[in-house]
Structure 1
């Protein structure tokens, strides 16, 4: 990450190094090697100028990691940054993903969407990008690391949907 982040978004860290180490520690306390983790974008931001640091951080994070591409993950032409493209993701990074968890469809994107696939059939939509400034709506919510109930730690589907009124999808 970069120092300016600590100025733009109130975060309880004295330095960006402390911030990054806290995130790595929190991640690894919640994630086992066999767990699947979806990162909803902006994985390295300013670290993209430091390939060794981003590779080192990525290598320390447990789990099978998937990247949903964010606005800070691409170059000026919109192409995935080569440093990120070269990391050992579980699959090719995409701009959006669909998966299933908790017995229902889940649509993952960096950006919030007003509508999403299977929305009217109980699908949940998780997004990042807005740093908690965009309120949840129905089955759509911000799951960025800096959202209060996420607390800089990867969360499970059950934790992220605990306050949602999930319709029966049987």
Structure 2
């Protein structure tokens, strides 16, 4: 299965207040985000992490937390990402077009784009960065824009599958 997530901000104490996350401590946030992720993702699943895995913690601490995440991880760098241990990922990109899983390439990037390759011809764009609520994704759907925030703040602190995103937009894979 193919999964997407973004903006976990592991280790970032202030993310709790800034994003109005329902956690008392950063340790609780880290535990919950890792548990939620691992409850959905299987060992052989592929997970596209669209940036900002951690913030304000030493890189070795970040690497230790990333090691706890299941699946074959592909990172699309965000503005807060460090030089993580590259062996923790299958690949690391700034922008990537995912092909072969939907009838058009899917544009993946940490940042939201107004336009992306084939955006006027049925291609989707998946992003993070904004820490939106799910209402953002609902608004995009209502406006006929195939742009989806895969960040944890917009998805009840869980990763989201490609199948769920296609179903959300009423698209056939």
Does TM, normalized by the shorter one, top 0.5? Answer: yes
Gaps of 5+ in 2: 1-10
Alignment match, 1:13:
23
Q: Deviations over 1:62-92 (max 9, x none)?
A: 000011111112xxxxxxx33x15442101x
SS of residue in 2 equivalent to 1:52: helix
Distance 2:21 2:87 in 1: 27
In the TM superposition, what is the alpha-carbon distance from 1:53 to its structure 2 partner?
1.8
Distance 2:150 2:87 in 1: 23
Given the two structures, how large is their TM-score scaled by the length of structure 1?
Answer: 0.83
In the TM superposition, what is the alpha-carbon distance from 1:160 to its structure 2 partner?
2.2
Distance 1:38 1:123 in 2: 17
2:161 to 141, 149, 156: 156
Given the two structures, how large is their TM-score scaled by the length of structure 2?
Answer: 0.81
SS of residue in 1 equivalent to 2:89: coil
Q: Please tell me whether the aligned partners of residues 55 and 87 of structure 1 are also in contact (alpha carbons under 8 angstroms).
A: no
Alignment match, 2:128:
128
Distance 1:5 1:57 in 2: 16
Q: Please tell me whether the aligned partners of residues 49 and 74 of structure 2 are also in contact (alpha carbons under 8 angstroms).
A: yes
1:65 to 73, 94, 97: 73
In the TM superposition, what is the alpha-carbon distance from 1:135 to its structure 2 partner?
3.0
State the Cα RMSD in Å.
Answer: 1.9
2:146 to 115, 139, 160: 139
Q: Alignment length, in residue pairs?
A: 155
1:1-170 matches, cutoff 5 A: 1-47=11-57, 50-73=58-81, 81-82=82-83, 84-91=84-91, 93-100=92-99, 101-132=101-132, 135-136=136-137, 137=140, 138-147=145-154, 150-166=155-171
SS of residue in 2 equivalent to 1:126: strand
Higher relative contact order (CA 8 A, sep 6+): 2
Gaps of 5+ in 1: 74-80
Alignment match, 1:76:
none
